[in-house]
């Protein structure tokens, strides 16, 4: 009980520091902007209560907003991501695999994890960028930027799973 709590606290702090201080320097021509902090919400335990999921998502988004001076943009995106995560997991978690503590490559395999993350990262980025720009005239260019940033973020998520995940794969 205490180990998953400590792991998630460390993950929260690490991803906030990484997102605020290092990842803005890794944007590619302001076209591909990585938002690796979504990994915290994606890796929360499958059986987490919905209330706690929303609270943790709010805290992650609020913390990023506080450091980025974006007044609610990331908070709204994280809450939207939490809502989508609940519905995606209802559809994607195979019966009998509910006992795994977190959705990760080591627990569900590469194909399942990449599908799960692709759907959620793309939805998060589309919501985030379209709320940020909020112009119908720029919908397609903003959506393209969201897709490219989503692919970049997805690459960093998979890379982090292989670098920091357990060596025991399914």
Residue 128 maps to a domain:
yes
User: Domain span at residue 113?
Assistant: 2-164
pTM of the model: 0.86
Residue 69 maps to a domain:
yes
130 three-class SS: helix
d(Cα 107, Cα 29) in Å, to the nearest integer?
35
- Structural domain total, the chain: 1
Residue 85 maps to a domain:
yes
Alpha-carbon distances of 85 from 35, 68, 89, rounded to whole Å? 16, 24, 6
> Which residues have a Cβ under 8 Å from the Cβ of 128 and sit 6 or more positions away?
35, 73, 74, 77, 146
Residue 169 maps to a domain:
no
Residue 8 maps to a domain:
yes
| E strand or H helix at 80 | helix 73-92
Residue 113 maps to a domain:
yes
Residue 170 maps to a domain:
no
Residue 139 maps to a domain:
yes
For position 13, which CATH number holds? Answer: 1.10.1760
Tens digit of pLDDT at every position of the chain (170 positions): 677 788 888 888 988 888 888 877 777 787 788 888 999 999 888 888 899 999 999 999 999 988 888 888 899 999 999 999 989 988 887 776 556 677 878 877 889 889 989 999 999 998 988 888 877 777 788 888 889 989 988 998 988 888 876 555 44
DSSP 26: G
Q: Does residue 42 contact residue 120 with C-beta atoms inside 8 Å?
A: yes
């Amino acid at each position: 009980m205490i180990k998953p709590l400590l792991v998630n606290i460390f993950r929260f702090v690490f991803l906030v520091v990484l997102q605020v201080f290092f990842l803005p320097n890794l944007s590619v021509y302001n076209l591909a902007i990585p938002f690796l902090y979504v990994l915290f919400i994606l890796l929360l335990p499958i059986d987490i209560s919905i209330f706690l999921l929303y609270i943790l998502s709010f805290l992650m988004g609020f913390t990023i907003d506080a450091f980025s001076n974006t007044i609610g943009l990331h908070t709204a995106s994280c809450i939207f991501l939490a809502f989508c995560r609940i519905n995606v997991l209802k559809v994607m978690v195979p019966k009998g695999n509910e006992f795994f503590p977190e959705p990760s490559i080591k627990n569900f395999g590469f194909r399942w994890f990449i599908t799960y993350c692709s759907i959620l990262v793309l939805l998060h980025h589309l919501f985030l960028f379209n709320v940020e720009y909020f112009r119908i005239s720029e919908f397609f260019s903003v959506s393209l930027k969201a897709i490219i940033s989503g692919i970049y973020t997805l690459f960093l998520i998979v890379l982090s799973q292989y670098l920091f995940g357990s060596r025991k794969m399914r």
